[in-house]
Chain A
Amino acid sequence: GENVEQHPSTLSVQEGDSAVIKCTYSDSASNYFPWYKQELGKGPQLIIDIRSNVGEKKDQRIAVTLNKTAKHFSLHITETQPEDSAVYFCAARSYSGAGSYQLTFGKGTKLSVIP
C-alpha cells in the first residue's frame, strides 16, 4: 500500500517568515495530494490540494508543489500569522481496488508561529 512520510514533525517560525513542510510518497500511481489543517480540538480541514497533472498551485499565502519524478510534494506558507499555528497533514490518494480510492496521511507537522 501507499506510504507517506512527512517532515518536520514540529516547526517554529517567527511571524512574517515562511514555513515549508515536505512529504514523500511511495506509490507512483497516486494522483491526488491534499493538505489538511487541524486546529486544536477540531477535525482536519482541507486547505489546498494538487493533482498529478499539475506542478504547482497557489491560493493567497499558501502554495503546494509536486515533483512526480521524485515522488515528493511540499506545502509553502508565506507571511505566516499566529492563526496559521496548527497541525498540518499531507496525504496521497491511491487506488485500493474494486473501484475504490483511499487517502493515506502523513503523521503531521505541528506549526507554531511566534508573534
Chain B
Amino acid sequence: DAGITQSPRHKVTETGTPVTLRCHQTENHRYMYWYRQDPEHGLRLIHYSYGVKDTDKGEVSDGYSVSRSKTEDFLLTLESATSSQTSVYFCAISEDVYTGELFFGEGSRLTVL
C-alpha cells in the first residue's frame, strides 16, 4: 500500500469553526489531491498540488484552501466550516500525472453540526 496517512480520521465540529485536515505521504510523489466523497455526487476534486507551494483549484474549491510547504504534506483548511461540508475527505497522490494512477488515503470523516 502507498504510504499515505490522513489525520484526523474522524472529526466532529460546529458550524463556523476552522478545520484543518492533513495528508502525509512517504512516497515522494509530486502530485497530491484532495477529494470529497458524497453519496449523491461521488468523488469530486477540491484542490490539487503539482509541487511545493504550487496548487490549483478543482471542481468544488469554494470554502476550502490548501497549502503545501513540503513535498510530503498537503493541508486542507476549511476556514469556517458549514454543514454542507460534512463529508468524507480523501487525499490522493500520483507520481506522474500522465500515467495517471492515483493512490488514495483511508479518508477523513468530517461532521459539521
> Taking beta carbons and an 8 Å cutoff, which residues of A are in contact with B?
1, 6, 32, 34, 36, 41-46, 49, 89, 93, 98, 100-108
Residue picked from B40, B48, B98, B100, most chain A C-beta under 10 Å: B100
Residue picked from B50, B92, B104, most chain A C-beta under 10 Å: B104
Nearest-CB residue, chain B, relative to A46 = B101
Q: Which of A100, A101, A105 contacts B42 (CB 8 A)?
A: A105
Docked-complex contact A1 and B100, CB < 8 angstroms: no
Inter-chain CA distance A98–B54, complex, in Å, is 12
CB-CB under 8 A from A105, the residues of chain B are 42-44
Interchain residue pairs with CB less than 8 A apart (29): A1-B59, A34-B100, A34-B102, A42-B106, A43-B4, A43-B90, A43-B92, A43-B105, A43-B106, A43-B107, A44-B102, A44-B104, A45-B104, A46-B102, A49-B100, A89-B43, A98-B56, A100-B50, A100-B97, A101-B97, A101-B98, A102-B48, A102-B58, A103-B100, A105-B42, A106-B42, A107-B40, A108-B42, A108-B43
- A48 CB, min distance to chain B CBs, angstroms: 11
CB-CB under 8 A from B40, the residues of chain A are 107
Give the dominant DSSP class at A's interface: strand
A-facing residues in B54-75 (Cβ within 8 Å): 56, 58-59
Contact with A along B66-91 (1 / 0, CB 8 A): 00000000000000000000000010
Docked-complex contact B101 and A49, CB < 8 angstroms: yes
Q: How many residues of B contact A (CB 8 A)?
A: 24
Indicate whether B45 reaches chain A with its CB closer than 8 angstroms. Answer: yes
Inter-chain CA distance A114–B92, complex, in Å, is 31
Inter-chain CA distance A91–B97, complex, in Å, is 14
Docked-complex contact B43 and A44, CB < 8 angstroms: yes
Inter-chain CA distance A103–B101, complex, in Å, is 10
CB-CB under 8 A from A98, the residues of chain B are 56
Known: A43-B92, A43-B106, A101-B98. 14 other contacts (CB 8 A): A34-B100, A42-B106, A43-B105, A44-B90, A44-B104, A45-B104, A49-B101, A93-B100, A102-B45, A104-B59, A105-B42, A106-B42, A107-B40, A108-B43
